[in-house]
Structure 1
């Protein structure tokens, strides 16, 4: 059996595709599911769906991502360490709920602060995957597809960082800002998560795949 068809490699590619698919679909599943279960109101952030009937989907999806990231074995210790850090951070996002908008208690505020910290670690680690780990190239000249993949990884990584900066800026706006009803944080988080998902689907060779008879990509 050729190396590129080995069961071990296929399992890793499937793992990456699964992580990517959850990332791409999660914002839309949460929003659409809540439309049917609660009403058309878009939540202010993806994390706010913890406080809606879509809580189990939100928590379950992040737990699945965490397990996949822990199971991910890269090319060296940096890949493994980043996967472990992102996995633990994903659990923090899932189990430390974001601060409710109405009359939060002191405990809820503390949990909300932990949630923000976990979310920041999670997203910055995902950006590190895109800008650092995924763009590495093995010996020899990279294929044209690999060069294209690196371009997309770069775009995804900077999109994630840009969204985080924009979220921080939006959080400084007063509640009565005219853009508040548009749920800008939700859309920025959705864009960052979709960028994460796309990068992992590409890493799983769902997109921009090399010629199957060429040497394996890094």
Structure 2
């Protein structure tokens, strides 16, 4: 294939860097684009301003598109990424009940249920990917890969921990209201930031955690 054509393509390393940056910044931008409101969840921004909704839906669509195109290093990873892509898209296109709270009859709406279930599935899959990344990094014999391995594992634990905190609050086993009224926002923001750090790390384009041989391989492949 012509070298000039290769240079115009975005390989999966660059895509991971872009997606990671989006995940890192999404909570910040949705908060900033809802002036005068301390949003209780990132999803709530969908209902408040056009700009916040556009950023939320647009960012999730980019992440979904990348996950759909990503096949990883095995059939399991390929299938997992496709399921994750559908879950992320569902989060974008099935808005939460957080604005109205409940349906007209007092029960949660199907749209809200799909939104919540998709969000949980999304974070579970992203946490699994972090763990898979750590296993791949572990087999490599370099100081940089060892650092990446620990970053992936920490990010996976942070995601699972954030979901556990939300579950404890949902089941009313722990009352976090005395600490913050924005628990869901902080849980979502923490999960997205962990996701962003993990995937930016997986891009192998960050200094200090990618050795020279790996950078050369990326340049030759792209």
TM-score, with normalisation over the residues of structure 2? 0.83
Residue number in structure 2 paired with 1:3: none
CA RMSD of aligned residues (A): 2.7
Counterparts in 2 of 1:34 and 1:212: CA distance versus 1, 3 Å: same
CA deviation after TM superposition for structure 1 residue 72, in Å: 1.4
Counterparts in 2 of 1:139 and 1:111: CA distance versus 1, 3 Å: closer
What SS does structure 1 have at the residue aligned with 2:115? helix
Q: How does 1:57-206 map to 2 (within 5 A)?
A: 57-102=55-100, 104-105=102-103, 109-131=109-131, 133-137=132-136, 141-173=140-172, 177-181=177-181, 183-206=182-205
- For residues 136 and 75 of structure 1, what CA distance do their matches in structure 2 show? 12
- For residues 125 and 44 of structure 1, what CA distance do their matches in structure 2 show? 24
Q: How many correspondences in the alignment?
A: 206
Structure 1: unaligned runs, 5 residues or longer: 1-5
Residue number in structure 2 paired with 1:213: 213
Structure 2: unaligned runs, 5 residues or longer: 1-5
- For residues 45 and 134 of structure 2, what CA distance do their matches in structure 1 show? 33
1:97-119 C-alpha deviation (Å, 9 max, x unpaired): 11134363259621111111101
- For residues 139 and 185 of structure 1, what CA distance do their matches in structure 2 show? 33
Q: Point out the more displaced range, 139-148 or 200-209.
A: 139-148
1:31 is aligned to 2:31: yes
Counterparts in 2 of 1:19 and 1:178: CA distance versus 1, 3 Å: same
- For residues 184 and 85 of structure 1, what CA distance do their matches in structure 2 show? 27
TM-score, with normalisation over the residues of structure 1? 0.84
Among candidates 40, 43, 51, match of residue 47 of structure 1: 43
Runs ≥4 in structure 1, deviation > 6 angstroms?
Answer: none
